[in-house]
Amino acid sequence: MKNCIVAQSGGPTSVINASAMGVLEENNSSHYYDNVYAGINGIQGILNNHIVNLSTLPYDEVKGLKYTPSSGLGSCRYKLKSYDKSPEEYLKLFELLEEHEIKTFFYIGGNDSQDTVHKFSIYAREHNKDVKFIGIPKTIDNDLPIMDHTPGFGSAAKLIATSVLENFLDASVYPAKGVFILETMGRDTGWLAASACVATINGIPAADFIYLPEVAFSAEKFLKDVSKKLTEKNHVFVVVSEGIRTKEGKFIGEASSTGLDKFGHAQLGGVCAFLKNLILETNTAEKVRVLELSTIQRCSMHCASQTDIDEAFEVGKAAVSYSIEGISGNMIGIRRLSNSPYTSEPFALETSKVANNIKYFPLEWINKEGNNVTREAYEYTLPLIMGEPKISIENGLPKYTFLEQAFNK
Q: Report pLDDT digits (tens) over 94-134.
A: 999 999 999 999 999 999 999 999 999 999 999 999 999 99
Q: Residue 47: is its pLDDT beyond 70?
A: yes
> Hey, how many other C-beta atoms are within 10 angstroms of the C-beta on 176?
9
Tell me the CB-side half-sphere exposure of residue 81, using CA atoms within 13 A.
Answer: 8
What's residue 257's pLDDT? 43
Share of the chain above pLDDT 90, in %: 89
Q: How many residues does the chain have?
A: 409
**Architecture of domain 153-298 in this structure:** 3-Layer(aba) Sandwich (3.40)
Based on the residue annotation, tell me whether 115 is a catalytic residue of this protein: no
Q: Residue 7: is its pLDDT beyond 80?
A: yes
- d(CA 118, CA 352) in angstroms, rounded, equals 6
- d(CA 357, CA 113) in angstroms, rounded, equals 12
What's residue 266's pLDDT? 52
Segment 193-239, tens digit of pLDDT? 999 999 999 999 999 999 999 999 999 999 999 999 999 999 999 99
Segment 250-298, tens digit of pLDDT? 999 775 444 445 545 554 558 999 999 999 999 999 999 999 999 999 9
3-151+304-356+390-407 sits in which CATH class? alpha beta
The average confidence (pLDDT) of the chain is: 94
- d(CA 260, CA 136) in angstroms, rounded, equals 26
Among the listed residues 112, 141, 208, 308, the single catalytic one is: 141
Tell me the CB-side half-sphere exposure of residue 130, using CA atoms within 13 A.
Answer: 6
In the chain, ranges of CATH 3.40.50.460 domains: 153-298
What's residue 131's pLDDT? 98
* CA 62 remoteness from chain centre: 22
Share of the chain above pLDDT 70, in %: 95
* DSSP string covering 208-231: SEEE-TTS---HHHHHHHHHHHHT
Backbone angles phi, psi at 397, to 5 degrees: -125, 160
CA distances from 191 to 42, 214, 271 (A): 26, 10, 17
Residue 347 neighbours by CB under 8 Å, 6+ apart: 332, 333, 334, 335
What's residue 78's pLDDT? 87
In the chain, ranges of CATH 3.40.50.450 domains: 3-151+304-356+390-407
